[in-house]
Amino acid sequence: MKYKKINTKSDLGAEIHDFKIENHHSSKFIKEIKNLWLEHSVLIFKNLKLNHYQFERLSLLFGEFGDDPYIESLKSHPNIIEVRRDADEKAPPFGGSWHSDWSFQENPPSATLLHSKIIPPIGGETLFLNTHKAYEDLSIATKEKINNLKVIHSAAGPYADDGFYALEKNKDRSMKIKPSKKAKDIILHPLVRTHPETRRKSLFINPVYSIAIDGLSKDESKSLLNELFNHMENEKYIYRHSWEPNMLVMWDNRAVNHCAQGGYEGHERLLHRITLSGDRPFN
């Protein structure tokens, strides 16, 4: 299989050159792709036209469909979400802060697959952050300090009935958000998680869903989380991905955080998204 490593600095991203949708029946080929994904955390497939059924079948080769709460999916394809922003829309881009998809779930998604349909001529990049490398570069003292800590995750900030999307001033958002009181539920996950397949450790925190460190005071928790967030956002851990039409990107939520960029005002942008179910994070 031919591929190109995308970003040496962050160790993220591999672009597959010879993928054909008709090869999806080959178990050997799929195993090679999965191993490449586990190594580089972000896979890019260029010039790959997919209808809804092909997108679903391809996704299922890598796992089972995950649960996507708080966002309305396509009526005829309940596992596909439209990540949409209309040309005249004033609401800020969806997913514009660092996060790992649905980390507030008991079993957060292992993977997210995003397929581009309409891509603006400017802006709209997606940033990916290597949470493995961010952990590995910490001092021994810091690792000892955080290795056994638990973090409280919740979707309250963005998705509660009194959260960001429920109260945002610009009501022209084209994506159908479904705020709910249930978004205030909390779950405890380890601050440092071990990848269930590669066994590498990473920082399993993000500014959107990680609201506090269990057992620490409010000030201690805020200080430590901010210290770790600042460390994680160093440019050396980040890969900036530029989109093209008919491009599929598949990333590992157990190894990266991601963040959507704006900068395409006046242009329509449309991508389709599927998440795959994962395991309960462990140390």
6: Cβ contacts below 8 Å, ≥ 6 apart: 12, 13, 14, 15, 40, 42, 44, 239
218: Cβ contacts below 8 Å, ≥ 6 apart: 212
CATH number, domain 3-276, options 3.40.50.720, 3.60.130.10, 2.60.90.10, 3.40.50.2300: 3.60.130.10
Q: What angle do CA 155, 226, 279 make, to 5 degrees?
A: 45
Listed by start position, the domains of the chain span: 3-276
**How much is the pLDDT for 85?**
96
Say whether 253 sits in a helix, a strand or coil. coil
Looking at the chain, the whole-number percentage of residues with pLDDT higher than 90 is: 90
Looking at this protein, which amino acid is placed at residue 135? Y
Terminal Cα-to-Cα distance of the chain (whole angstroms):
34
**How much is the pLDDT for 1?**
75
Query: Residue 99's closest CA among 128, 134, 62, 137?
Result: 128
**How much is the pLDDT for 24?**
63
Report the run of H or E that residue 114 belongs to, with start and end: strand 111-118
**How much is the pLDDT for 170?**
67
pTM given for the model: 0.96
Q: Which residues of the chain have pLDDT under 50?
A: none
